[in-house]
Chains A and B, each alone.
Chain A
Amino acid sequence: MSGDVTTIIVIMMGYLLIVLALGIYSFRFSKPTMEDYHMAGREFNTFILFCAVFGTNISAVALIGGPGKAYHIGWAVWPYFVTSWAWLTPILFYVIGDRAWKVSYKFHLITQSDLFLKRFNSRALAWLTSGVLMFYTVPYIMVGVIGGGKTFVGLTHGAVPYWMGALIVTVIVCLYITLGGMRGTAWTNALQTVVFLIGGLLMFVIIAYAMGGPAKATAQVVEKFPHLMDRSKFPMALFFSYGIIVSLSVPMFPQVYIRLLTGNKPQKLRKMAMIYPFAAILIFFAVAYIGMWGHITFPDLQGAASDKILPMLLSKYAPVWITGILGAAIFAALMSSLDAQLLTLGTMLIKDFLGSRVKKADKENNDIMLSRIFIIVFAVIAFVSALMNPMGIIKIIEWSFAGYASIIIPVIGTLYWKRCTAPGCIAAIIVS
């Protein structure tokens, strides 16, 4: 192992240990209640709320999948996400988040299933909703684990193998979620969101400069790979429909929906919605051009192999210590979603499937312990699945997003429509 690779590994491990320490430190402020473990006592201010929601939303898509897709289809990756989701999702934060916050605060609700159960008293609808959400979340968790493995491989030239990279990320995330719960994930997300937003911008500047500037890099793309500029290999129908699906699905990500309810006032949600479009364009604009320009330096990557383009470019163009620091930014993006997804799966399983049993026993400590055990079980499932190295990251999330979007109509109906019924919601989910 060369000295450069060792330096990169030391810096990245240093960052991961800082995140772990922050997550564990948050444990000191926790109370032994389900409300505190899963909702952090609904106490977040605007900054923490923004980081919790945006960090959870972004995942490995931004710094791994985004550049990987831009490598194949060009600059259109940023409008693919940003000219729909970046502004339509904040509008939906008002439509859904504002009212859901008020109802959930009043009745101590956490998940979408809780909402259905409160309104219709239909266990069948609650179970169906949780089942659908869990079905689509489990593969989505893999995205973070796969991203961790690929980042380690790309930055260390394979000195840290894929399985080990994936394992390191999984273990660290598990450690701080099981101890810190929602507060642990939110505090670490605050750090990680700042790190990946600034890191993404720095990566753009460093890589563009190393390639002779945006104009020179783009001129080479126009000459050698014109399809990356003219979007001829990007189906227009996909651009249209996926924009709608992403925007509708994000507020229905169980991990995002729960975080929308963690602000201490609805006004925090409003302020957070106004920051959202700026953060979204900042990160996706940068990574899309990096991915497209990466085609010049590494022209032969096939399929999901392009997911490693960002670490490969950093490794080639950035000084060693910067590569280590910016590698940490990639981890920040993927871990900030991975932790939220794992915590949410634990929350749903306890609240929606084992809730009644737990209430009878009246042992909140047991609930929290059970949540921790389930989080570890889901993490193991995600790790093992990621070792099978399935489709590329964007393929996985496209599949999951479509599933989440199926819940939005019943949720809007439940919040706004007096004549909405449980059978109607069940039919809507099944048909969707």
Chain B
Amino acid sequence: MTQENVRSFRATLTIIYILSVVLMVIRVDWWWWGTKIHPLIGGWLSVPMLYQVGIWLAGTGLVFWLCIGVWGKQD
């Protein structure tokens, strides 16, 4: 592995770790916490629920970025 590749992987990893921390903080949707919730989609799913799905999607995106963009190439 060249020095340039190592630097590139480290930069990518740093971004992934920082985004992980951000996601862990914003997953707590304090602005909706304890407020009255009404289902929005299908009489079932509400906005905070969809927001949490969004957090999961973003986190899963980070896993794929790590696995394909760093781990896969590193191996």
Contacts and interface: CB of A to CB of B under 8 A. Distances in A.
Interface of A: 75, 78-79, 82-84, 86-88, 90-91, 94, 98, 214-216, 218-219, 222, 226, 229-232, 236, 239-240, 243-244, 266-267, 270-271, 273-274, 276-278, 281
A215 B24 contact: no
Contact of B44 (A86, A94, A218): A218
Contacts of B27: 79, 83-84, 240, 243
Nearest to B43: A215
Interface in B17-75: 20, 23-25, 27-28, 30, 33-39, 42-44, 46, 48-49, 52, 55-56, 59-60, 62-64, 66-67, 70-72, 75
6 contacts: A79-B27, A94-B66, A94-B70, A94-B71, A218-B39, A278-B60
Contacts of B42: 214-215
B28 A219 contact: no
A79 B27 CA distance: 8
Nearest to A247: B24
Contacts of A267: 72, 75
A239 B29 CA distance: 10
B43 A270 contact: no
B72 A270 contact: yes
A214 B35 CA distance: 21
B65 to A, nearest CB: 10
Q: Which of A98, A239, A270 has the most CB of B within 10 A?
A: A270
Describe A's contact surface by its main secondary structure: helix
A230 B56 contact: no
Given A226-B36, A230-B35, A240-B25, 11 more contacts: A78-B52, A79-B52, A90-B63, A94-B66, A94-B71, A218-B44, A219-B43, A231-B33, A239-B28, A274-B63, A277-B59
A322 B37 CA distance: 34
Contacts of A226: 36-37
B63 A87 contact: yes
B37 A277 contact: no
Interface range for B: 35 or more
Given A91-B66, A94-B66, A236-B28, A215 B39 contact: yes
A243 B24 contact: yes
B60 to A, nearest CB: 4
B63 A273 contact: yes
A274 B37 contact: no
A82 B20 CA distance: 14
Given A98-B71, A215-B39, A88 B28 contact: no
A82 B38 contact: no
Contact of B52 (A83, A94, A219): A83
B49 A91 contact: no
A219 to B, nearest CB: 6
A-B pairs, top 4 by smallest CB distance, nearest first, are A215-B43, A87-B59, A79-B52, A214-B44
A37 B44 CA distance: 48
B30 to A, nearest CB: 6
Q: Which of A87, A229, A243, A281 has the most CB of B within 10 A?
A: A87
Given A88-B20, A215-B39, A273 B67 contact: yes
B28 A86 contact: no
A270 B24 contact: no
Contact of A91 (B37, B52, B62): B62
B63 A91 contact: yes
